[in-house]
Structure 1
Amino acid sequence: MRSPRIGALLASIAVLIPLGASACSSPAPRSAGAARDCITDFDPSKDYFPEKSTIEDATGLTIEYHRSYQVVTVAHPAQGAPPASYVLVRCGAPAPELTGELADAPQVEVPVRTVYAGSTTHLPGLAALGAADAVTGVATTGFVSTPEIVERIDAGKVQQFTDAGAVNAEKVIAGRPDVLVTDGSDSPAFGKIRDAGIPVLADADWLEESPLGRAEWLKFFAALTGTEKQASSVYQNIKSQYRSVADRLSGVPKTPVLLGSIANGSWTMPSGGSYFGKLVADAGATYPWIDDRAAGSLQLSIESVIARARDSAVWLLSDPTVNSVADLDKQDPRYRAFAGPAKQAWNSTKAVNSGGGNDYWETGVLRPDLVLADIAAIAHPDLFPGHAFEFYLHLPQR
């Protein structure tokens, strides 16, 4: 969908000037990824993006195509931040000289050859697009679960660019990636990295409140890697499988579930309008706060949760410190009020790796269809006999 703001900005006609010295050559540190097919005889009347992405479900991402460049706009590059636009220029084409707010927008030659990924959520999408070889840096190597990237880490082809979770600008500058993609948060190091000539682009998929909308940020990386056709195929398959599970549960009685846990003296629970609240609804389940359409999480009194949700049939958790129901009781004795749902307590920790990374927050972001199938099988085991769980495991009592 075209943003009126960006549409107005693009109404100004571009003047073309050369982009850098050589569109297809650069120093060795930037040649780690796959070779790219650059324009050698530029024709201003030719459309150099024959395959185009169409955004269907994501609300925080728009992509507009021009003959030799595209404009990618992120509605909120960080929470509460104003929109940011990036001009992606087909390598070998002259750079568009844009006016208005796009005059200062970062320009990036695409397809990129090397990417530093600020979040593990970026990695399954890049692998699904066949672009794993472009990944030369990740925020924390130990958290990575995507097999193609783990293999590259083990081979010494991917470096970690954070120290204790903070971006190390010197490491990024030394690695000289074509682009650094952030995790949708800001860092004091980004200014220094930009000053060194490395574009910093924001992937704010985590701000999407729709499971499918979050998965569709795959197309952000398709724009960077020139894999729009593959992205369309991958996303349509994910969407089809998600809808298949959701449709199967249409009209089925809703299973009452308990969500969340105690933290800092209150009960933290996803709202009905949140990413996870929508997964629960689509999985044929319900809970007393499902009609609360606030974004994000709710902070509730423990007493109110005991009063309204103690008789739930299922308890869905996401707590890496909990391996049994007894662990919960040790954390807070008030959990004993939930003896009923504790018999069917499930934790999204089946796919935690040795470094503490959880593939639920990696592959699960790209594949909400798999997360939905797990929750649906928990809420309606009779409809999904023999389901092989990807992310959830049933907590033993001890």
Structure 2
Amino acid sequence: MTARGRLRSLLALLGITALILTGCGTTSDDPGRPRTCVDDYSAGTDYFPDKATVDYAQNFTLDYHPNYVVLTVRQPFPGGSPESYALVRCGTPAPELTGDLAGAQTIEVPVQTVYSGSTTQLPWFTELGVLDALTGAADTSMISNQQVRDRVSEGKVTEYATGATVDTERVLAARPDVVLTDGTENGAYPVLRRAGIPVVAVADWLESSPLAIAEWIKVLGVLTDTSAKAEEVFSGIAERYNDLAAKARGAAVTDLLYGADFQGTWTVPGADSSSGRLITDAGGRWPWSDRAGNSVQLSFEEVVDRAGDVPIWLVSDNQWTSIADVLKVDPRYRNLAAVSSGQVWNANLAMGPTGGNDFFESGSARPDLVLADTVAILHPELLPDHEFVYYRRLAR
């Protein structure tokens, strides 16, 4: 036993908490999760027995070592160079980082306090049972999850950014263990890094499949020492998703239209997009599915000319609840067959009390639920008793 270990044992016998020796753990007044640190470090011991595997995601990797994990995000934001992070088990020595890892941020794990840069990350905290680690959210106004909203109301989650403006002083004052980005680069991040606050890029939205995006829950799993739970949660999601996709493959392909006009531009998925992949997995087909890339920008006229006869239309507009709402925005929508037949479906069934849409919050974390809704729309015979989570059919 090391001197530190012997001293800890002595203090424990005396009834004195020894957390101050390493800075690990929390007192009753500390926010966040209790941190489990190593009391008696032994070189060569595997301090990460629960290891996450990355099966679908292409934009992050995990490289395990006895007392630390190297997390690498290949593209932290569009056009960005790879970033690596050494996630070191609390109470063990930080590794000497050389070569490609020289200059990588070092983060003690498990982290106790996390500032989240996107509402799409919030479901991870509830799914992993680590909601107490969430102490900051970029913009709280669009949060749908009631558990998270309760923490905001109780003052346990701080809002630290609105729009693209990060309140740097607020983050510096709080000194969270880690800040998760929203997959973009912000001028505040270098300032936070220089001040010793780790900033980890979460660029899940750059993945090209729904399951790849959902697999980013494993990043939070490593950070919070809940990798076993992350594996369990994601395995269930992937199994349900793949089972539904297999069922849909046995049905005839259904044509659909996706998206809507916004300020003169109608954006539809490209062949390489995650939303396009989900449509295909649901047994659907959309015009322009042969166009490479993540998205295709079109004019209203182009859409009507090529997709006017498509029988089903999927949208994600927060305001529309009826066909009348659609026509009020633009009477030209009347030229779509789906409008005439009343087959317009909007992903705004689950709305938060202040306007947040849960489709954009939990939808990326639960592609199995989004796929089930989509299959039920395109092939109702496959899921006759389905209860919709995100989509609703607009009233006529």
TM over 0.5: yes
Map residues 2-151 of structure 1 onto 2, 5 A cutoff: 23-25=22-24, 31-151=30-150
Query: Which residue is equivalent to 1:175?
Result: 174
CA contact (8 A) 2:237 2:366 kept: yes
The letter of the residue matching 2:276 is G
Aligned equivalents of 1:28, 1:76: Cα separation in 2: 38
Select between 99-108 and 86-95 the one with higher mean Cα deviation. 99-108
Aligned equivalents of 2:300, 2:163: Cα separation in 1: 34
CA contact (8 A) 1:126 1:132 kept: yes
Query: Which residue is equivalent to 2:205?
Result: 206
The letter of the residue matching 1:95 is A
Map residues 156-171 of structure 1 onto 2, 5 A cutoff: 156-171=155-170
SS in 1 for 2:119: coil
Query: Which residue is equivalent to 1:253?
Result: 252
Deviations 1:117-156 (A, max 9, x none): 0111111112111111000000111222233322211221
**Taking every aligned residue pair, what percent have the same amino acid on both sides?**
45
Query: Which residue is equivalent to 1:321?
Result: 319
SS in 2 for 1:44: coil
SS in 2 for 1:364: coil
SS in 1 for 2:336: helix
Q: Cα gap change, 1:28/1:207 in structure 2, threshold over 3 Å: closer, same or farther?
A: farther
Q: Cα gap change, 1:115/1:30 in structure 2, threshold over 3 Å: closer, same or farther?
A: farther
CA contact (8 A) 1:209 1:274 kept: yes
SS in 2 for 1:85: strand
Aligned equivalents of 1:163, 1:298: Cα separation in 2: 29
Gaps of 5+ in 1: 1-20
Select between 59-68 and 136-145 the one with higher mean Cα deviation. 136-145
Q: Cα gap change, 1:29/1:326 in structure 2, threshold over 3 Å: closer, same or farther?
A: farther
Q: Cα gap change, 1:184/1:388 in structure 2, threshold over 3 Å: closer, same or farther?
A: same
Aligned equivalents of 1:98, 1:157: Cα separation in 2: 35
Deviations 1:145-173 (A, max 9, x none): 23332221122111100145411001111
SS in 2 for 1:278: helix
Query: Which residue is equivalent to 1:226?
Result: 225
Aligned equivalents of 1:340, 1:317: Cα separation in 2: 12
Aligned equivalents of 1:32, 1:65: Cα separation in 2: 29
Tell me the CA shift for residue 301 of structure 1: 3.1
Select between 159-168 and 237-246 the one with higher mean Cα deviation. 159-168
SS in 2 for 1:242: helix
The letter of the residue matching 2:189 is F
Aligned equivalents of 2:371, 2:67: Cα separation in 1: 39
SS in 1 for 2:249: coil
Aligned equivalents of 1:218, 1:152: Cα separation in 2: 21
SS in 1 for 2:381: helix
Query: Which residue is equivalent to 2:235?
Result: 236
CA contact (8 A) 1:29 1:177 kept: no
SS in 1 for 2:102: helix
Which of 295, 303, 311 is the equivalent residue of 2:309? 311
Deviations 1:84-113 (A, max 9, x none): 000000000011111123121000000000
Tell me the CA shift for residue 341 of structure 1: 4.5
Query: Which residue is equivalent to 2:332?
Result: 334
Gaps of 5+ in 2: 1-19
Deviations 1:179-238 (A, max 9, x none): 111111111111222222111111111111100000000011011001111111100000
SS in 2 for 1:62: strand
Aligned equivalents of 1:166, 1:393: Cα separation in 2: 34
SS in 1 for 2:100: helix
Q: How many residues matched?
A: 376
Select between 211-220 and 119-128 the one with higher mean Cα deviation. 119-128
Residue 387 in structure 1 maps to residue 386 in structure 2? yes
- What is the RMSD computed on CA atoms of the aligned residues? 1.8
Aligned equivalents of 2:180, 2:71: Cα separation in 1: 13
SS in 2 for 1:72: strand
Aligned equivalents of 1:341, 1:187: Cα separation in 2: 41
CA contact (8 A) 1:24 1:38 kept: no
Tell me the CA shift for residue 328 of structure 1: 2.0
Aligned equivalents of 2:163, 2:275: Cα separation in 1: 28
Tell me the CA shift for residue 376 of structure 1: 0.6
Q: Cα gap change, 1:219/1:299 in structure 2, threshold over 3 Å: closer, same or farther?
A: same
